[in-house]
Amino acid sequence: MIKINKIQGFTLLELMITLAIAAIMVTIGIPSFMGLIRDSRMTTNANDFFTALSYARSEAAMRNVEVIIQSKSSVDLDWKDGWDVYIDTDDSGDFDIANDELLKTHDALPNRYTLTANSGFNTKISYQPTGLMSTSFNGRFYLCLDGDVASSREIVINSLGRARIDAPATTCS
């Protein structure tokens, strides 16, 4: 009887073809994956601001006090430097660490992100104990990355103080 040796493994040609196919798939897949990461970061930043709005509204109703969200930026309509959620216990109208109760704070957004408000919300949003805003008009915030409207988010606050996130925003300014 003749004994046949079974050869196991693969040839150099098979390895080169497999590597070429893998390189093509990676080249096609990386841009899509980068877009997915960018979209995920945009959603996370929008959700952070939305959560701060919802938290301030619920704390105002739960504690039966006015709760304020204030931009950390000194420039009107600019919220990219972060925000504080606090109870203005001394009624000064501004956050004072010695006298006011800080509920939450958020650091600045990552570089290249902008968060701008329309003219309704210069640097503050105030929720009354009823859960309604101090002002009775709708407001919008525009969250953008490098001014790209296509991948942006719009946070809309209605006159009752409820917020929602729309995608994409209509503008980045």
Sheet with strand 113-117: strands edge to edge: 113-117, 139-145, 148-157, 163-166
pLDDT given for residue 147 in this prediction: 86
Host H or E run for residue 105: strand 101-106
Which domains are present in the chain? 49-166 (3.55.40.10)
The 10s digit of each residue's pLDDT in 93-122 is 788 888 899 999 999 999 999 999 987 788
Residue 164: pLDDT above 90? Answer: yes
| Residue 5 per-residue DSSP state | P
pTM of the predicted model, to two decimals?
0.81
CA distances from 125 to 54, 67, 88, 104, 142 (A): 12, 8, 12, 14, 15
pLDDT given for residue 97 in this prediction: 85
Over residues 21-41, mean pLDDT: 87
**Residue with the larger pLDDT of the pair 7 and 97:** 97
CB atoms within 10 A of CB 85: 24
| Residue 78 per-residue DSSP state | B
